[in-house]
Amino acid sequence: MSAQDRETSPPPQHAAAVAVLLRFLDYMRAEKGASDHTLEAYMRQCRMFVEWMGPRFESWEACTTDSYRAWLYEAMQQELKPASIRQRFAALRSLYAYLMLREGYTANPLADLTLPRARTGLPVHLSLKQMEELLSLPLRTPVDKKSPAWLPFRDAAILELFYSCGIRLSELVSLNADAFAGGADCVRVVGKGRKVRLVPVGEYAREAIEKYLEYAVPDPQGPLFISRLRRRMTGRSVQLMLDKYLRCSGIPFHISPHKLRHTFATHLLDAGADLRSVQELLGHSSLSTTQIYTHVTKTRMKQVYLEAHPRATDIED
């Protein structure tokens, strides 16, 4: 090995650390059903710590609480958001849980580490009027002459499905065309942890999908939503599509596919849906995750109060 190779190659202990990470990711994939997106994030976040430690890193077992406290301090000095810091340490905590369960480690250096509390911001969502405007845009926005004629129908179907089902972006792009064979009124969704759930599909979404399938004619055994090159759409391409329509709208803030999920949940609760049903539709494993939406159902709460309280009077918005 040349001197230059020795300078650029990672220390042996770093290679050993990566080997441990690969076993950990195999465990997360096989036994915890973690998605590829989660696995990539875990690998990136754990390697970030190893690279930060540099030659001080000997092994995962040799890392101390002080090592992680110093890394936490640096992250806070960089003014990283609490959510970003907690995400880094979530990967490491999962790693040490695995090491203690499967590789004989007897101590977890992260057990006594106190992380900054995540700020629980209000979920951003569209009003009903804004949502209706967004849903109407694909079929009334001029189409690029180079684009296939079916493209607006695909975009309309995607937006209708997001709003009708509240599914995640990863769940939408993984759907295959056979999911809607015969005009199914429910769709089988594979969510986080490979958990499967059936989600009802509303009439508007079914009609939009049927029209898209009629014009685009994707392979019945292939992806449901295809790109111009007739390949499976990526999450990035869906976001770019959404950005295009937002620029044509009067919506004054940025919207991601996940915010359409927030909109789905908020509108259901505003209309009187119970929290447990919304939890099942969203595929949340814990009801506490769904409860973040309850504060935005002011209209519903006012209605219940006015109808139920014997001394209620009209309340101004």
Catalytic annotation on 125? no
Q: Structure tokens of 7?
A: 């300078």
The C-alpha atoms of residue 6 and residue 9 are separated, in whole angstroms, by 5
Catalytic residue among 192, 197, 300, 302: 192
284 annotated active-site:
yes
Q: Which of 88, 125, 168, 262 is catalytic?
A: 168
211 has catalytic annotation = no
Cα torsion angle, 257, 137, 184, 222, sign: negative
Q: Report in angstroms the alpha-carbon separations of 208 from 119, 147, 148, 211, 212.
A: 38, 19, 17, 5, 6
Nearest in space to 103 (alpha carbons), one of 227, 17, 213: 17
Distance of CA 160 to the CA centre of its chain: 18
Residue 295 a catalytic site member: no
Question: Is 244 annotated as catalytic?
Answer: no
Is position 93 annotated as part of the catalytic site? no
From 258, 259, 300, 302, active-site residue: 258
φ, ψ for residue 190 (rounded to 5)?
-100, 110
274 CB contacts (<8 Å, ≥6 apart)? none
Catalytic residue among 228, 284, 300, 302: 284
- Among the options 125, 154, 206, 261, which is catalytic? 261
User: Which position among 68, 98, 212, 293 bears the catalytic label?
Assistant: 293
What are the residue numbers of the active site? 168, 192, 258, 261, 284, 293
